[in-house]
Structure 1
Amino acid sequence: MKIITLEEHFAHPALTAASSPAINLLAPDFAATYAPGSGFAGSLQSEAVLLDVGEKRIADMDRNGITTQVLSCLWAQQAPADVAPALVHAANDTAAEAVRAFPGRFAAFAALPTAAPEAAARELDRCVTELGFVGTLINGRTEGEFLDAPRFDPVLATAGRLGVPVYLHPSMPPRAVTEASYGGLSPLVTGRLQTAAWGWHVETAEHFIHMVLSGVFDRYPDLQIILGHWGEMIPFYLDRIEELLPQGITKLDRPFADYVRHNVHITPSGMWNQAQLRFCVETLGADRIVLAVDYPFVGNEGAAAFLEEADLSAEDKNRIAHGTAERLLGL
């Protein structure tokens, strides 16, 4: 079976270095929390694994039945405005070189220097129209703000004009949120609670919900958002959100659930849970689910087996494995 995965990361050393002060401010114990040997399967990978967008990555894909990875570069949202445009430009050129070098094996989401929104909009246009990228992946807030802040409208307008999706990816909550909600525990517990165990997913859910309630999808009704980790909790609370935030209160053009069912695709992000798959198929439909591993923080070996074991029709398996991704991304 052809398999396309959408949340597959690499790092660019200069961009990582420029972003590190902001990351350390938000999560001082982040590196230690996910260091190799820390007892978490998704530990931070060695620099060599994250830097590789060549033969070794392809070999791992081949061993595990992955046809195509959509590459995305980490940490662009944490880079300061004065250096982000040049560094992100270089990172995207690295991804473009990998796509050219291995036709059909890689595609790419644009990293964007969102601390400089006008430059970010230009970079998205360049990546899609000149380099053939298939969308953008944005890692959480930029300087404490969600994407619906007015300053980021050029980015949303460009994505809407180009007809490419935005993968809304988790990142650290603001430091004040961590101190209020996740502090008072051991550094290791706080570090994981504020990130992969809980905080990342709450942050991303709030980010998307805020975009809906601020009217982003009334302004850009065809804009598509991709949410990982089975929709970052939203499908499981969809009825509750709808009940408490009806149109009479939100004043939106559509009911909340309509935005989720028409403007969102979701991925498992390597959370190979059949019960969550069944719930999401029932709630959103198989045609709204695309596959993502979260490589290299999750290994490729689970993807094919997860689909093979799923209690779905062959048609739905093929949709999730590659068909919907091909339609959504124009592959």
Structure 2
Amino acid sequence: MSASYPVVDIHTHMYPPSYIKLLSSRTTVPYIYQPTEADNSPDSDPRLIILASDDDPSRPKASRGRPVDSTYSSFDQKRSFMKRHGISCSVISLANPWLDFLDPESALETAQGINDDLETACAKNNQSSDHGSLKLYAFGCLPLSAPAKDIVSEIKRLKTLKHVKGVIMGTTGLGKGLDDPDLDEVYSALASTSTLVFLHPHYGLPDSAFGGPEVVARSGHVLPLALGFPLETTIAVARMYLSGVFDRHPKLQFLLAHSGGTIPFLAGRIESCVAHEREFVANGGHRQGPQRSIWDVLHTNIYLDAVIYGQPGLRAALEAAGSVDRIIFGTDHPFFPPLGNEHESRWLSVESNKGAIDGTFPHDEEAKKQILGGNAVRVLGLDI
């Protein structure tokens, strides 16, 4: 990936040392398990168990979840990955499950510590001549299990950190979903501070949606990741839309992971169902439905990343977004590594996303420039 303009990776994760320490101190999901000699395991890497389905008591702990090597926490390896793929800047974010699991008493302090770690690491990187022109910025995390006043205070504090350019959030919100009225105070703070929210799935769908645990086990993580994650995002945003979140907070700005799940394909169907719903006031019913078109919301409140792995999906995302200006490149590093020697190979997950952009705009260098970096620089105010 060589370009004469900045290439910005807006969807790239890290577990900073403070987060690794937090997960390693736990014994219930989510947690990190460090294999010991007693495990007699050929793989000595720690194991990340972040889903209940990963914590299968019939399997040894040393084979549960997924291996977590230094790629997940090393800034040197992040920079090496960037150099290999011609990436000028990474906007790093904590990977799921963020801080949803914390008790209210410790949530704010923990979030502040992790956010400060990210700010310090990015500042140190950007001030060092050893790293050349490679830049790092971050999305902060929110203490969503804490009282609303604590969440709001951290949103406002993050605006004082030079290298934190938004926040990452999961789909459960305060625990009841993103259409929870109790989130209105948080949404007001996000909107009034012009804070971009990177919305990322984690919980997927229940195993029963795929035929039960045995069916899921036969496919490894394919069904939960390929289908569960995108549908989780779709359902979460549809609930926000139907409950009037974007009507009440018209200045909210969301960046949806994985090109918005299936929203680009289903937006027209959602719009049609709303138009024909007899329960809604607009059709003579008694419930207040959404007052704005879903297309208006997509064109003014939502950005989509380009982590879609193929031209058909990218074209659908472009149609839904309404403009090239609302699509932003990402890699999802360090997930989906090459199954060979990842320290020498180019990553298929990166090449397929870049290839989709090249194939969709074979003769439009300006469009590629905007998606690969220009949009992120403009939207986040990056100093590149």
Q: Do these two structures clear the TM 0.5 threshold for a shared fold by scoring above it?
A: yes
2:361 corresponds to which residue? 311
| Structure 1 unaligned residues grouped into runs of 5+ | none
1:14 corresponds to which residue? 21
Q: Pick from 88, 112, 123 the counterpart of residue 142 of structure 2.
A: 112
Structure having greater relative contact order (Cα 8 Å, sep ≥ 6): 1
- Say if 1:29 and 1:188, in contact at 8 Å, map to a contact too: no
Within 2, Cα distance between the matches of 1:37 and 1:275?
Answer: 36
Within 2, Cα distance between the matches of 1:140 and 1:252?
Answer: 20
- Say if 2:178 and 2:240, in contact at 8 Å, map to a contact too: yes
Q: Which TM-score applies when normalising by structure 2?
A: 0.75
Q: Pick from 241, 251, 259 the counterpart of residue 230 of structure 1.
A: 259
Within 2, Cα distance between the matches of 1:18 and 1:260?
Answer: 41
Within 1, Cα distance between the matches of 2:328 and 2:380?
Answer: 11
After TM superposition, list the pairs within 5 Å mapping 1:1-331 onto structure 2.
Answer: 1=3, 2-11=6-15, 12-17=19-24, 21-23=28-30, 27-30=51-54, 44=66, 46-52=68-74, 54-74=75-95, 75-103=98-126, 105-116=135-146, 117-142=148-173, 144-173=175-204, 178=206, 180-182=208-210, 184-186=212-214, 188-189=217-218, 192=221, 195-246=224-275, 248=282, 251-269=289-307, 271-284=308-321, 285-299=323-337, 301-302=350-351, 304-312=354-362, 313-331=364-382
Within 1, Cα distance between the matches of 2:175 and 2:218?
Answer: 23
Within 2, Cα distance between the matches of 1:292 and 1:193?
Answer: 20
Within 2, Cα distance between the matches of 1:239 and 1:81?
Answer: 40
CA deviation after TM superposition for structure 1 residue 184, in Å: 2.6
CA deviation after TM superposition for structure 1 residue 64, in Å: 0.8
Partner-residue secondary structure (3-state), 2:168: strand
**Larger Rg: 1 or 2?**
2
Q: Which moved more, 1:280-289 or 1:304-313?
A: 304-313
Within 2, Cα distance between the matches of 1:289 and 1:83?
Answer: 36
CA deviation after TM superposition for structure 1 residue 245, in Å: 0.9
CA spacing shift, 1:293–1:179, aligned 2, 3 Å = closer
Within 2, Cα distance between the matches of 1:16 and 1:31?
Answer: 14
Letter in 2 for 1:102: N
Residue by residue, what CA displacement relative to the aligned partner does 1:20-39 show, whole Å, maximum 9, x if unpaired?
73548983333689x9999x
CA spacing shift, 1:10–1:161, aligned 2, 3 Å = same
Letter in 2 for 1:137: I
- Say if 1:64 and 1:304, in contact at 8 Å, map to a contact too: no
- Say if 1:15 and 1:91, in contact at 8 Å, map to a contact too: no
Within 2, Cα distance between the matches of 1:45 and 1:180?
Answer: 26
Q: Which moved more, 1:111-120 or 1:300-309?
A: 300-309
Residue by residue, what CA displacement relative to the aligned partner does 1:78-126 show, whole Å, maximum 9, x if unpaired?
3332322222211111111121012261111011110113222211221
CA spacing shift, 1:147–1:131, aligned 2, 3 Å = farther
Partner-residue secondary structure (3-state), 1:78: coil
Letter in 1 for 2:206: T
CA spacing shift, 1:82–1:182, aligned 2, 3 Å = farther
Partner-residue secondary structure (3-state), 1:135: strand
Letter in 1 for 2:89: T
- Say if 2:255 and 2:304, in contact at 8 Å, map to a contact too: yes
Within 2, Cα distance between the matches of 1:139 and 1:262?
Answer: 21
Please report the RMSD computed on the Cα atoms of aligned residues, expressed in angstroms.
3.0
CA deviation after TM superposition for structure 1 residue 266, in Å: 0.6
Partner-residue secondary structure (3-state), 2:269: helix
Letter in 2 for 1:62: K
Within 2, Cα distance between the matches of 1:329 and 1:126?
Answer: 17
CA deviation after TM superposition for structure 1 residue 190, in Å: 7.8
CA deviation after TM superposition for structure 1 residue 14, in Å: 3.4
Partner-residue secondary structure (3-state), 1:79: coil
Within 2, Cα distance between the matches of 1:192 and 1:287?
Answer: 33
- Say if 1:26 and 1:172, in contact at 8 Å, map to a contact too: no
Residue by residue, what CA displacement relative to the aligned partner does 1:196-229 show, whole Å, maximum 9, x if unpaired?
1322221111111111121111122121111121
Within 1, Cα distance between the matches of 2:248 and 2:371?
Answer: 29
Q: Which moved more, 1:20-29 or 1:178-187?
A: 20-29
CA deviation after TM superposition for structure 1 residue 135, in Å: 0.8
CA spacing shift, 1:239–1:45, aligned 2, 3 Å = same
Partner-residue secondary structure (3-state), 2:361: coil
- Say if 1:19 and 1:79, in contact at 8 Å, map to a contact too: no
Query: Per residue, is there more helix in 1 or in 2?
Result: 1
Letter in 1 for 2:13: H
Query: Percent identity, aligned pairs only?
Result: 25
CA spacing shift, 1:98–1:111, aligned 2, 3 Å = same
Q: Which moved more, 1:151-160 or 1:56-65?
A: 151-160
Within 2, Cα distance between the matches of 1:82 and 1:45?
Answer: 30
